[in-house]
Structure 1
Amino acid sequence: MGTRDTTDADRASDGPAFQPVFENRVRFAETDQQGIVFYGEYFTFQDEAVSAFLRAIDYGYDRMIDNGWQIHVANTELNYRTGAEFEDVIVNELRVADIGTASLEYEYRATRKHDGELLADGTVTQVAVDLETEETTRIPDAFRDAVATFQGGLASDA
């Protein structure tokens, strides 16, 4: 997974291209009595996508802590479009749509691999805080640069 060639279809008019950051095969335990992925599982997939994105840009939680800051989730939203079933492979994509002074917003989407059907999409907003004081802090330029390099720019570059 990682940086790929992008087309106009991949790039929304309001931001950089989504990047596939990980795939998962739906496990039986993730389905409900109706045989589709239980809606709450998508929050786990979304969270895994954020972690995979941070690994892909080589700026994970350990590096944040080494640099004296960390991120806290302030908000997360999901829209359910259609159901995935047992054994479906889900492609989880993410992009940083906005980086403010101390906050960032990821846009997330999950598609079924075999037909490209959109399963769910949403956002995660995180706030950067000083490791010692827990007060908001400016997101370092090195993090911004890593994001821009990985996804081909920032929203302000679009």
Structure 2
Amino acid sequence: MGANDTETEERAADGPAFQSVFENRVRFAETDQQGIVFYGEYFTFQDEAVSAFFRAIDYGYEQMRADGWQIHVVNTELNYRAGAEFEDVIVNELRVADIGTSSLEYEYRAKRERDDAVLVDGTVTQVAVDTETEEPTRIPDDFRDAVAALQGGLETDGQR
């Protein structure tokens, strides 16, 4: 884990704005023997950020199922930048960086509230599938529009 680097700052300036979707206070159970957040916990925080993002756009999993589609995670990555400790408040941010015909790529970052240090950043890639066939399906316009409305824009591969 190193200091925040220029690449992180430049990436934050590109594309739609990150959305602060939820905060959590580090619990003792989430720390390791060194007293810092165990690295695997950030994948849970990342997953929670995606769910909170769906709530923020008012298009949750129930709406997806009602519309005949769901999402499958196909890739996730995290880069560790700094450590958080017991009782630190973590601000979890997310944005849809790219939306294709049937895929979504989110960029995620977690910051320590007290000093705004980036703790981790990374991506989550999901594929939309039909609930009956489990085959890839087109992401509905209603979902795309909700994402664009929340984050002030949308990067897409041209598939509208």
Above 0.5 in TM-score?
yes
Percent of pairs with identical residues: 82
In structure 2, the partner of 1:21 is 21
In structure 2, the partner of 1:35 is 35
Runs of 4+ in 1 over 6 A off after TM superposition: none
Q: Give 2:131's aligned amino acid.
A: L
Count of residue pairs the alignment pairs up: 148
In structure 1, the partner of 2:73 is 73
Residue 14 of structure 1, CA deviation: 3.1
In structure 2, the partner of 1:130 is 130
Gaps of 5+ in 1: 1-8
Gaps of 5+ in 2: 1-8
C-alpha change, 1:121 and 1:144, in structure 2 (3 Å) is same
Equivalences for 1:133-144 in 2 at 5 Å? 133-144=133-144
RMSD: 1.4
Residue 12 of structure 1, CA deviation: 3.8
Q: Secondary structure at the match of 2:70?
A: strand
The CA deviation string for residues 16-58 of structure 1, in whole angstroms up to 9 with x for no partner, is 0000000000000000000000000000000000000001000
The CA deviation string for residues 78-119 of structure 1, in whole angstroms up to 9 with x for no partner, is 000010000000000000000000000000000000100000
Whole-Å separation in 1 of the counterparts to 2:11 and 2:77: 21
Contact 1:14 1:155 in 2 (8 A): no
Contact 1:23 1:91 in 2 (8 A): yes
In structure 2, the partner of 1:93 is 93
